[in-house]
Amino acid sequence: MGGSKSSLRNVLVTGQFAIAVIFMISLMVILKQLKYMQQRDLGYSYNQVIKLPMDLRLAKKMQVLKAEITKVKGVKDITNGFMEMGGNGSLFGIDFIAPNGEAKKITVNMENAGINYISFFDMKIMAGHAFSKDQQNEYIINETLAKQIGYPNPVGKPINITSLPPGRIIGVVKDFNYSSLHKTIEPLIIGSMDYIPYWQTNLYVKVSGTNVSQTLKDIQQAFNAISGDNTFEYQFIDDHFNEVYHSERQAGSMIAIIGGLAMLISCLGLLSLAAFVVLRRKKEIGIRKVLGASVANITTLLSKEFLILVFIAFVVASPIAYYFMNKWLQGFAYRINIQWWVIAGAGAAAIMIAFITVSFQSIKAALANPVKSLRSE
């Protein structure tokens, strides 16, 4: 009966540590993915860039509004766009002639941008050139769309957006993640059509990093002078990306809390089990001390069986954690690989915590007076 109870205790402690290790590995993977998303080169720069949403009435005053905001001290550059950086694109039909002479129609994302859009966001032109003044029905495409079109160099080739006059390709921009990292980069065509105000829904303003609050107040004043009763609303693009990945940060926080509680409960269970084992082996410890065993010898002896339980927990937990975190990472088009040292690190941390926990009881038993231990038997 005593043996079955002891086995049950071992199973419970092992199970608790397995759960704790699963949470430890999960937390490490989530934190690495978040760090990867923060550090990944998106193909454009949005540092110190604010976005001002435009309605149709305000979009008709876009050029006047841009001119007034440009005068504000602390404003470094200004441009406009149709898409929302970090949001979803807008699908439009395009047609072109493929290299084999076949006329093709496909659906792509479209951006209606200011003349200086490419330089504003520090994008890289891979072929051709960016927009210049007085260009109509001339388009820049991204690398993904260039591959779909099929020409080694598509610059100069005709391409048309449905319902607009015929146009041509003037440049190819390096792929950039205009959406979140949950999605792969999709084909994109960029035009600069100031004559279509309802395709001008966002104003982007790049501000200096000094005295930002005053700069924003001055921008608001310039905005109010032109906009009439439109509400001044703005958002830094990096804040928007923080919102895009808010659920991942919440998941990390929740796993950290639950994992911490799981580890605490596991350590308490291990501490209780260690106390029970030390009490049961009190006479043995006393005899070993009388025969010359050192504190280190006894501590190692008592700790070994507990560390074996933790190792078993690690072996059980690792494939489970790997499976579920690999499934979670499938939700990102751009993601990390779960490296072996992440799993090994979680295992090493669990073993170290377990060793520290049981060492308290083991050292206490090893330092006890062996004469008292033997007398009590």
Q: Tens digit of pLDDT for each residue in 191-240?
A: 988 878 878 889 999 999 888 999 999 999 999 888 877 788 899 988 88
Number of structural domains found in the chain: 2
Q: Is residue 239 part of a domain?
A: no
* Same-domain check for residues 84 and 220: yes
Cα separation of 282 and 280, whole Å? 6
- The pLDDT-based confidence of 370 (bands split at 50, 70, 90) is low
User: Over 80: is that where the pLDDT of 342 sits?
Assistant: yes
Give 323: exposed, middle or buried? Use CB within 10 Å, 0-12, 13-18, 19+: exposed
* Same-domain check for residues 148 and 195: yes
pLDDT value at residue 115: 92
Q: Is residue 135 part of a domain?
A: yes
CB 78 within 8 A of CB 71: no
Please compute the mean of the pLDDT values over residues 271-276 and round it to a whole number: 72
User: Over 60: is that where the pLDDT of 369 sits?
Assistant: no
* Same-domain check for residues 36 and 98: no
Which two three-digit tokens encode residue 128? 């051709």
Whether the pTM exceeds 0.85: the reply is no
Produce one character per residue of 358-367: b if its CB has 16 or more CB atoms within 10 Å, e if not: bbebbbebbe
Distances (CA, A) of 89 to 85, 127, 128, 177: 9, 23, 24, 11
Q: Which of 179, 199, 229 is the last residue of a domain?
A: 229
pLDDT value at residue 251: 81
* Same-domain check for residues 197 and 224: yes
Q: Which of 103-112, 280-289, 298-307 has the lowest average pLDDT? A: 280-289
Task: Choose among 359, 353, 364, 366: nearest CA to 303.
Answer: 359
Mean pLDDT of all residues belonging to the chain:
84
- The strand pair at 202-207 and 158-161 is best described as unpaired
Q: Is residue 34 part of a domain?
A: yes
Q: Is residue 47 part of a domain?
A: no
Which two three-digit tokens encode residue 1? 């009966």
- The strand pair at 91-97 and 158-161 is best described as antiparallel
* Same-domain check for residues 116 and 225: yes
Cα separation of 326 and 34, whole Å? 15
- The pLDDT-based confidence of 290 (bands split at 50, 70, 90) is low
* Same-domain check for residues 225 and 316: no
pLDDT value at residue 134: 61
User: Over 50: is that where the pLDDT of 281 sits?
Assistant: yes
* Same-domain check for residues 189 and 318: no
- The pLDDT-based confidence of 125 (bands split at 50, 70, 90) is very high
Q: Which of 229, 264, 291 is the last residue of a domain?
A: 229
Q: Is residue 29 part of a domain?
A: yes
CB 25 within 8 A of CB 317: yes
pLDDT value at residue 366: 60
| Rg (alpha carbons) of the chain, rounded to whole number | 32
Task: Choose among 347, 137, 216: nearest CA to 355.
Answer: 347
User: Over 70: is that where the pLDDT of 88 sits?
Assistant: yes
- The pLDDT-based confidence of 137 (bands split at 50, 70, 90) is confident
pLDDT value at residue 71: 93
* Same-domain check for residues 199 and 253: no
- The pLDDT-based confidence of 49 (bands split at 50, 70, 90) is very high
* Same-domain check for residues 148 and 273: no
pLDDT value at residue 3: 54
pLDDT value at residue 210: 86
Q: Which of 202, 229, 256 is the last residue of a domain?
A: 229
Q: Is residue 50 part of a domain?
A: no
- The pLDDT-based confidence of 372 (bands split at 50, 70, 90) is low
232 DSSP assignment? -
Q: Is residue 240 part of a domain?
A: no
Main-chain dihedrals φ then ψ at residue 74, nearest 5 degrees: 100, -10
* Same-domain check for residues 191 and 269: no
Tell me the pLDDT tens digit for each residue of 298-322: 677 777 777 888 889 899 999 999 9
* Domain coverage including residue 258: 2-40+245-375
* Same-domain check for residues 164 and 265: no
* Same-domain check for residues 31 and 97: no
Q: Is residue 48 part of a domain?
A: no
